[in-house]
């Protein structure tokens, strides 16, 4: 046997066991030295690449190890959902944390070409339509997303989101992550703050969200139908309560001044809103005239009793009962519907601490954050407090431009400082001591720079009774140089800060498309979604492929199609010019993630049908010709072949 043959055997890794044994056995017999050489060769070659790899890996930066703690390696899942408003994009987004990966964009008030939101009949029915069937509004401005609660923490049923632009509230069902209801609020503009209640103030047995409160920022003439347009004194704001189950407006409260952000107490008794325009000013300067603005507390039980007792009026064509919560109408605290707690000028943001004891109301134009004690407000309603201002138990100076406050459950509050571009960590109990005159109280524990100009800030599970004090997200309004430049419109930065230690640690810059305002960070085990739809959920579902076909009733034509990858049940269908065509498609695929699309060229139709879902569109067949409908969502090896011809006969 030759040396060469040996080496060939060795070099070929696919060589068989027995064949190798064969050769090696002969080698063992034939010559010893030869085999020694062979085995040492093998060792050398095995070591060489390892050594090379080592030098490659050597310059890895040391800092990486620290950041790596927050990386989510391939195949692993994030530990939190981040439900985030999309600002004037009108949508809601879901990010995974700590990775910051964008997982989903849920179209709500906007149009979405991908899923067909605003295209399908089903979505239009939720959005509301004009008489011609087109969506009533195609724009929206979402600011605040909040989840429904059960027993003081998120229950994964619903998320609620506001539309500041057209004053609408939308509900997203979290099992499918789709908007299922949109309600337009009457008599208001600039609906900004919103928050679901956490338990029922009237029925103690109901320990879950049944109401959503909405604060309107802009005051308008009531009714706003052309009267009093030049009489700003007559402009008014209302605070609104929407039923979380029916999404009908329950009641509204007429107030002095405006509403801004909203908070609710854990015991369900109070809803709060801060106001920055006590002055009811119309112009910029007017709104900052007064030294004091206030935070309003609504006594939900009393308001609902008043409604029950018929002590309300209605405005214009709206049937919604409106009770009077103005100071003039509520002179006696013992019967008052609303408590006005005076605060330094133009406060912004009101957040309740996870223990339910305090509301933090940031000063914005004042470098302070006011702490209002929940049970003192209740005392005021009982007539036991002389002045509502007595409910303020602390007002620490924390920095310039304080806006929003998050809590970690360990007694610390984290407030965004817009002007200082910082997050300040301060201790609530120390602030109360300092307010009482304790000079030794150490209020501010830490500060950290963020980049740049934070708006909202929030902590993981911080708005529930189960805060875990792990992360703080600072949603900054400017990113400037923090990312690769992409033209004059920059992304925003959502900066992640580890708050688990004594010192805050900036651990990630996440780029977000404009413009998230507020988010909630939700533990992943709370959310449970459906994998596929249920055929029976759709009244128009075509349950059997044999039921496919074209069904005509005069000018109205219904085309029923089912889809199973890679084919639609109708390879072609014929309609006549001028027909009003309704296409209903049921996706019969049952495999998770096997979504189909349905697009019709020149007819501006494109939408998705998820497994076992039914969707429909209606349009006028105005253009004769052949139109290749096709699947837009990659589904199969033969996805490209998944088509159907729409033949519009002249």
Partner 1 sequence: MIPTIDSPVARALMRYAALMLLLACLATTAGATSYEAHLPPELSTSPRMCDYVPCAEVLPGADSFSERKGSPPYVEGYRGSGDGKKLVGYVMLSTDITDLPAYSGKPVVTLIGMDARGYFTGVKVLKHSEPILLLGIPEQALIDFNHQYVGKFVGDQLEIGQSRPDEHIVGLDAITGATVTVIAQNQVMLNSGMAVAKQVGILKPTPRAAAKFVDSGAAPTWQQMVEEGSLQRLSVSPAEVGSSGAGPFIELWFGYLNQPTLGRAILGRSGYDRLMADLKPGDHAIFVIRTAGGESFKGSGFVRGGIYDRVQVRQGRDIFSFRDTDYLNLYGVAAPGAPAFTESAIFIIHGGNAFSAAYPWQFVFLGNKTDRETRTKTFVNFDREYWLPANYLQGGRPLVVKPDPTWLKIWKDRAGAIVAFTALLLGVAVVYANRDGLVRRSSHKNKWPVNGFKYVAWVISIFFAGFGLLAQPSITQVLTWFHSLLFQWKWELFLSDPFIFIFWVFIIVTVFVWGRGLFCGWLCPFGSLTELMYKVARALGLKRFQTMLPKRLHDRLKWVKYAVFIGLLAVSMFSMGLAEKLAEVEPFKTTILVGLFKRSWPYTLFAGTLLGLSIFIERPFCKYLCPLGAALAMPTTFRWFGLKRKQECDTCKACAKGCGSLAIDRDGRIDQRECLLCMDCMILYYDQHGCPPLAQERRRRTKSGLEMTRIGADGYFIPIRQIPTQAAEK
Partner 2 sequence: MVDPRLPSDRVELPYATRPGIVAWLTAEIWDHLWPWSRAGFQTGRALQGAGLALGLAASVVWILAGLGHMQAGAVIAWWFGWSVFEVVVRLGAKPYVKEGPWWGRCYRRAGRMDMLCYVGFKNLLIGAALFIALKSLGALVV
CB of 639 to partner 1, least distance (A): 7
CB of 17 to partner 2, least distance (A): 6
Partner whose binding site includes residue 32, from partner 1, partner 2, none (CB under 5 to 8 Å by kind)? partner 2
Pair 194, 160: CB distance under 8 Å: yes
Interface stretch with partner 2, choices 41-49, 124-132, 495-503, 631-639 (CB under 8 A): 41-49
CB of 7 to partner 2, least distance (A): 14
Q: How far is Cα 273 from Cα 351, in angstroms, rounded to an integer?
A: 9
Q: Rule CB under 8 A: is residue 17 a binding residue for partner 2?
A: yes
Q: Rule CB under 8 A: is residue 6 a binding residue for partner 2?
A: no
Q: Which one, 72 or 400, has the nearer CB to partner 1? A: 72
CB of 38 to partner 2, least distance (A): 9
Interface stretch with partner 2, choices 14-22, 231-239, 252-260, 417-425 (CB under 8 A): 14-22
Q: How far is Cα 486 from Cα 335, in angstroms, rounded to an integer?
A: 57
CB of 53 to partner 2, least distance (A): 18
CB of 564 to partner 1, least distance (A): 7
Task: Look at residues 574, 588, 541 and name the one whose alpha carbon lies nearest to residue 644.
Answer: 574
- What is the residue-wise DSSP string for 148-212? EEETTEEEEEEEEEEETTTTEEEEEETTTTEEEEEEEPTT-EEEEEEEE-SS-SS-TT--B--EE
What are the strands of the beta sheet with 348-352, ordered from one edge? 348-352, 358-362, 369-373, 392-394
Task: Look at residues 387, 303, 292, 372 and name the one whose alpha carbon lies nearest to residue 338.
Answer: 303
Q: Rule CB under 8 A: is residue 1 a binding residue for partner 2?
A: no
Partner whose binding site includes residue 589, from partner 2, partner 1, none (CB under 5 to 8 Å by kind)? partner 1
Structure tokens at 543: 């349950």
- The residue whose two tokens read 């408590």 is 339
Q: How far is Cα 159 from Cα 173, in angstroms, rounded to an integer?
A: 7
Structure tokens at 487: 């033209």
Partner whose binding site includes residue 229, from partner 2, partner 1, none (CB under 5 to 8 Å by kind)? none
Q: How far is Cα 457 from Cα 477, in angstroms, rounded to an integer?
A: 11
CB of 25 to partner 2, least distance (A): 4
CB of 91 to partner 1, least distance (A): 25
Phi, psi angle pair for 57, to nearest 5°: -80, -15
Which of 3, 8, 12, 28 is close enough to bind partner 2 by CB under 8 A?
28
Q: Which one, 32 or 591, has the nearer CB to partner 2? A: 32
Q: Rule CB under 8 A: is residue 29 a binding residue for partner 2?
A: yes
Q: How far is Cα 638 from Cα 620, in angstroms, rounded to an integer?
A: 30
Q: Rule CB under 8 A: is residue 22 a binding residue for partner 2?
A: yes
Q: Which one, 23 or 370, has the nearer CB to partner 2? A: 23
Burial of 242 (0-12, 13-18, 19+ CB in 10 A): buried
CB of 569 to partner 1, least distance (A): 12
Q: Which one, 29 or 591, has the nearer CB to partner 2? A: 29
Q: Which one, 511 or 532, has the nearer CB to partner 1? A: 532
Interface stretch with partner 2, choices 12-20, 164-172, 262-270, 345-353 (CB under 8 A): 12-20
CB of 3 to partner 2, least distance (A): 16
> Checking DSSP bridges between strand 580-587 and strand 556-564, what pairing results, if any?
parallel
CB of 8 to partner 2, least distance (A): 15
Q: How far is Cα 543 from Cα 536, in angstroms, rounded to an integer?
A: 9
Q: Rule CB under 8 A: is residue 18 a binding residue for partner 2?
A: yes
Residues interacting with partner 1, by CB under 8 A?
Answer: 14, 16-19, 21-22, 25, 75-77, 79, 524-525, 528, 531-532, 546, 564-565, 589-594, 634, 636-641
- What is the residue-wise DSSP string for 408-452? -SSSEEEEEETTTTEEEEEEHHHHHHHHTT-TT---EEEEEE-SS
Whole-angstrom CA distances from 326 to 329, 341, 486 are 5, 13, 49
Structure tokens at 607: 């939408």
> Checking DSSP bridges between strand 643-649 and strand 572-576, what pairing results, if any?
parallel
DSSP state of 491: P
- The residue whose two tokens read 């043959």 is 5
CB of 115 to partner 1, least distance (A): 21
Q: How far is Cα 385 from Cα 373, in angstroms, rounded to an integer?
A: 12
Partner whose binding site includes residue 524, from partner 1, partner 2, none (CB under 5 to 8 Å by kind)? partner 1
Partner whose binding site includes residue 36, from partner 2, partner 1, none (CB under 5 to 8 Å by kind)? partner 2
Q: Rule CB under 8 A: is residue 46 a binding residue for partner 2?
A: yes
Q: Which one, 44 or 553, has the nearer CB to partner 2? A: 44
Which of 2, 4, 14, 43 is close enough to bind partner 2 by CB under 8 A?
43
Which of 8, 20, 442, 602 is close enough to bind partner 2 by CB under 8 A?
20
Q: How far is Cα 169 from Cα 141, in angstroms, rounded to an integer?
A: 11
Interface stretch with partner 2, choices 36-44, 246-254, 497-505, 517-525 (CB under 8 A): 36-44
Pair 545, 570: CB distance under 8 Å: no
Q: How far is Cα 549 from Cα 546, in angstroms, rounded to an integer?
A: 8
Q: Which one, 225 or 537, has the nearer CB to partner 1? A: 537
Q: Which one, 30 or 229, has the nearer CB to partner 2? A: 30
Of residues 136-155, those binding partner 2 (CB under 8 A): none
Q: Which one, 79 or 129, has the nearer CB to partner 1? A: 79
CB of 29 to partner 1, least distance (A): 10
Partner whose binding site includes residue 35, from partner 2, partner 1, none (CB under 5 to 8 Å by kind)? partner 2
Task: Look at residues 163, 649, 350 and name the one whose alpha carbon lies nearest to residue 341.
Answer: 350
Of residues 97-136, those binding partner 2 (CB under 8 A): none
Which of 1, 11, 36, 202 is close enough to bind partner 2 by CB under 8 A?
36
- The residue whose two tokens read 């088509």 is 643
CB of 41 to partner 1, least distance (A): 19
Interface residue list for partner 2 (CB under 8 A)? 17-18, 20-22, 24-29, 32, 35-36, 39, 42-43, 46
């Amino acid at each position: 046997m030759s040396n060469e043959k040996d080496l060939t055997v060795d070099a070929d890794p696919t060589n068989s066991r027995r064949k190798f044994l064969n050769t090696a056995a002969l080698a063992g017999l034939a010559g010893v030295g030869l085999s020694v050489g062979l085995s040492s060769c093998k060792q050398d070659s095995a070591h060489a690449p390892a050594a090379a790899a080592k030098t490659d890996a050597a310059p890895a930066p040391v800092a990486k190890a620290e950041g790596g703690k927050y990386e989510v390696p391939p195949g692993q899942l994030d530990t939190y959902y981040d439900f985030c408003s999309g600002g004037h994009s009108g949508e809601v987004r879901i990010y995974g944390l700590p990775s910051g990966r964008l997982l989903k964009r849920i179209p709500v008030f906007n149009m979405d070409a991908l899923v067909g939101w605003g295209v399908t009949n089903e979505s239009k029915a939720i959005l509301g339509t004009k008489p011609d069937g087109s969506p009533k509004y195609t724009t929206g401005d979402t600011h605040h997303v909040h989840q429904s609660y059960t027993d003081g923490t998120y229950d994964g049923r619903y998320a609620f989101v506001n539309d500041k632009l057209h004053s609408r509230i939308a509900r997203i069902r979290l099992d499918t992550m789709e908007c299922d209801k949109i309600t337009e609020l009457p008599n208001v503009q600039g609906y900004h703050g919103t928050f679901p209640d956490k338990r029922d103030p009237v029925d103690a047995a109901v320990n879950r969200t049944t109401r959503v409160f909405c604060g309107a920022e802009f005051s308008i003439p009531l009714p706003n139908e052309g009267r009093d347009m030049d009489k700003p004194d007559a402009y008014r704001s209302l605070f609104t309560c929407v039923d979380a189950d029916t999404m009908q407006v329950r009641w509204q409260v007429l107030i002095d001044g405006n509403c801004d952000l909203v908070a609710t107490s854990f015991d369900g008794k109070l809803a709060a809103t801060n106001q920055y325009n006590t002055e009811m000013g119309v112009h910029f300067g007017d709104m900052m005239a007064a030294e004091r603005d206030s935070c309003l507390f609504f006594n939900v039980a009393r308001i609902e009793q008043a409604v029950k007792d018929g002590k309300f009026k209605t405005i214009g064509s709206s049937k919604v009962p409106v009770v009077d919560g103005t100071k003039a109408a509520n002179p006696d605290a013992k019967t008052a519907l609303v408590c006005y707690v005076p605060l330094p000028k133009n406060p912004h943001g009101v957040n309740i601490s996870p223990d339910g004891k305090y509301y933090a109301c940031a000063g914005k134009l004042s470098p302070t954050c006011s702490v209002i004690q929940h049970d003192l407000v209740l005392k005021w309603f009982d007539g036991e407090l002389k002045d509502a201002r007595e409910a303020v138990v602390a007002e620490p100076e924390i920095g310039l431009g304080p806006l929003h406050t998050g809590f970690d459950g360990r007694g610390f509050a984290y407030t965004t400082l817009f002007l200082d571009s910082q997050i300040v960590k301060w201790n609530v109990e120390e602030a109360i001591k300092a307010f009482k005159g304790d000079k030794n109280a150490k209020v501010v524990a830490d500060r950290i720079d963020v980049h740049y100009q934070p708006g909202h800030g929030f902590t993981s599970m911080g708005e529930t009774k189960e805060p875990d004090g792990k992360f703080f997200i600072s949603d900054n309004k400017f990113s400037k140089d923090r990312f690769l430049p992409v033209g004059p419109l920059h992304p925003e930065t959502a900066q992640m800060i580890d708050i688990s230690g004594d010192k805050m640690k900036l651990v990630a810059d996440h780029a977000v498309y404009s413009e998230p305002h507020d988010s909630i960070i939700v533990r992943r085990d709370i959310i449970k979604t459906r994998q596929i739809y249920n055929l029976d959920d759709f009244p128009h579902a075509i349950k059997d492929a044999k039921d496919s076909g074209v069904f005509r009733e005069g000018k109205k034509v219904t085309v029923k199609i089912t889809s199973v990858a890679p084919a639609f049940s109708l390879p072609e269908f014929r309609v006549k010019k001028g027909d009003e065509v309704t296409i209903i498609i049921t996706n019969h695929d049952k495999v998770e993630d096997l979504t189909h699309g349905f697009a019709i060229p020149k007819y501006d139709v494109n939408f998705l049908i998820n497994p076992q879902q039914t969707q429909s569109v209606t349009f006028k067949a105005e253009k004769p010709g052949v139109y290749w409908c096709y699947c837009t969502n990659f589904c199969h090896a033969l996805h490209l072949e998944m088509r159907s011809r729409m033949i519009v006969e002249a």
